[in-house]
Structure 1
Amino acid sequence: MQIAVTFRHMESSDAIRNYVEEKLDRVKKYIEEPIDAQVVLSVQKKINHRAEVTMVAKGLTMKSTESREDMYAAIDLMVDKIERQLKRYKDKLKRHKVDSGTQRRLEKTIFAATSVDEGDGSPEIIRSHSFSVKPMSVEEAVMQMDLLDKDFLAFTDDNSEEMNVVYRRKDGNYGLIVPQGS
C-alpha cells in the first residue's frame, strides 16, 4: 500500500505519519490489489483537527473525512469509517456471487479510425482481445463496471442468459441495453 501524508497548517510529524500508516494498514484485508491512499491532515482555527483520506484500489475510490479536537481521534474515526465502507462493499460483492452458470467467450476488436473513415472495404485491426463473461445480475454488472472504471460492460444476464450491456450515461445514471427476441 502506498500512503502519501500531507500536513496543512501544522508541522510535519513522523509520529503522526507512522500512526496513520499503522492504522491504514488494517484495511488491506478488504482489498487485494495495490492501494493508493492520499491522507491530508490539517488544523483549522487552532482547535479543529481534520483527517481526510482518499483511497483508490481496483478502480474503486473511497473517501472519508473526520474532524475532532484531537488529531489522533480524528485519524481513528477516519480509518474506522473507511474500514466500514470497504467491509460493506466487500460483503456486497460476496452476496452477488453466482456459483453456477454458463460462461460466454467474447472478442473485442479495435479498428483503426482512418480505415473506417476513408470507407476502405477492409478496416485495419489494431488489437483484438478475447475474454470470458460470467453470468451476473444487473446490480453486479454495475458494480463490476464501477470497479473496473469503465463506461460500459457487456455481460450475460443470470436470469435470461442473454447478452446485455450496462453503460454509464452522461447524466451520471446507468442505462441497460437488452436484446429483443426476433
Structure 2
Amino acid sequence: MEVEELEVQVTTRGDVPEAAKQYAVEKVTHLARLTKRPILFVQVKLSLEGNPSRERPALAEASFDVNGRHLRAHVAAHDLTEAVDLLTDRLRRRLERSTHRMDPQHRPPPGNGRWRHGDLPTQRPEYFDRPVDEREIVRHKTFALAPMTCEEAAFDLDMLGHDFYLFTDIETGADSVLFHPEGSDHLELMQAADENRVPESCSAPVVASTQRPATMAVSEAEERLDVSKEPFVFFVNVETGRGNVIYRRYDGHYGLITPA
C-alpha cells in the first residue's frame, strides 16, 4: 500500500476539534513512510476529558497493523497537540525497533537495553479511582494463546506498550505472563507451572518472579484486585485450569483475559 492510499480510522470522544483529527492523520501518515512493510490497518482514538480535575485531560491512542504485527501506544497530555506528538514519537521508536527485530543483522545482544519499557509514567493516562462497589468487568477478551518463546513475548510486550503480556511458553507449555515491575528496568516472568523458569536462550532482561499464580474463581481474583494496588492479577481459573488475567482499566472498571 502506498502511503498516499493509507486510510487512517479516527474515532473521538469529547469535544475534539476537527483540526486535532487532521493533525493526527498527518502525523501517522508521515510515520508510515518509515517502513517498507505493508501497513494493513491504522486506528487512532482521540479523547478530551471534561473533568477539570484531570491534570492531563487529552488522551491519544493508536494501533498499527504492520504486515500482521501489531504496534500500539497510549498517552496522556495537557492538550491534544502534545498528545499526538507524544503518540507518534512513541510509535516511531516501536516501529524502528520492530524493523530492527525483523532483520537478523540488527538482532539485539543480551542486556543492551533494546527491550527496556519505554512508556514514562508521566505520559500514561491516569486511572479513574472508581468506588469499589461500582467496579465491574466490562471487557472480556478470549483468544487462543499462540505458543511463543519468552523473548518473542518480550518483544510483543514492548511493541504493544502494555503492562503485561499473557502467552503460552513454547518450552514448558505453561500459560505465562510477562510484566514490568514498577520502578524496574527488567521484566518478570510468572508461569502457571511447578516453577517460574527463564530459558537461558532469552536475550531480553527477564527474571523469574518470586510469586506464583493462585488457583481461584474469577470473583475471587476480582476481590484481590479490589484490595491491591497492582495493575493486574494473574491467576489459574479454578473452572478451566488455565491462566487468566484480570486487570485495571483507565476508566476504573476491570477487564478479563482468558485463553480460548
Residue in structure 2 matched with residue 62 of structure 1 by the alignment: 71
Contact in 1 for aligned 2:42/2:64 (Cα 8 Å): yes
Check conservation: 1:2, 1:35, Cα contact below 8 A.
Answer: no
Give 4+ residue runs of structure 1 displaced > 3 Å after superposition: 166-170
Change (3 A) 1:56 1:72: same
C-alpha separation in 1, matches of 2:78 and 2:41 = 27
Equivalent residues of 1:52, 1:64 under 8 A apart? yes
Question: Could you report, residue by residue, the CA deviation over 1:26-71 in whole angstroms, capped at 9, with x for unpaired residues?
Answer: 2222252133111111112245101111112222111111111111
1:50 aligns with 2:55: no
2:43 matches 1:38: yes
Q: Does 1:24 align with 2:28?
A: yes
Distance 1:92 1:78 in 2: 21
User: How big is each residue's C-alpha offset from its partner over 1:63-121, in whole Å with a ceiling of 9 and x where there is no partner?
Assistant: 11111111100100001001100101111222358xxxxxxxxxxxxxxxxxxxxxxxx
Matches of 2:91 and 2:59, distance apart in 1: 15
Give 2:19's aligned residue. 15
Is the 1:66–1:77 Cα contact (8 Å) retained in structure 2? Answer: yes
Q: 1:80 aligns with which of 66, 79, 89?
A: 89
Taking the aligned partners of 2:75 and 2:36, their CA distance within structure 1 comes to 22
| Amino acid in the other structure paired with 1:95 | P
**Secondary structure in structure 2 of the residue aligned to 1:55:** strand
Unaligned runs of 5+ in 1: 98-137, 152-165, 174-182
Give aligned pairs, total: 117
Check whether the contact 1:7–1:40 (CA below 8 A) recurs between aligned residues.
yes
**Which has the larger Rg?**
1
- 5 Å-filtered alignment, 1:143-154, equals none
Change beyond 3 A, Cα 1:170–1:22 = farther
| Identity across the alignment (%) | 22
Compared with structure 1, are the counterparts of its residues 81 and 9 closer, same or farther at alpha carbon in structure 2 (3 Å cutoff)? same
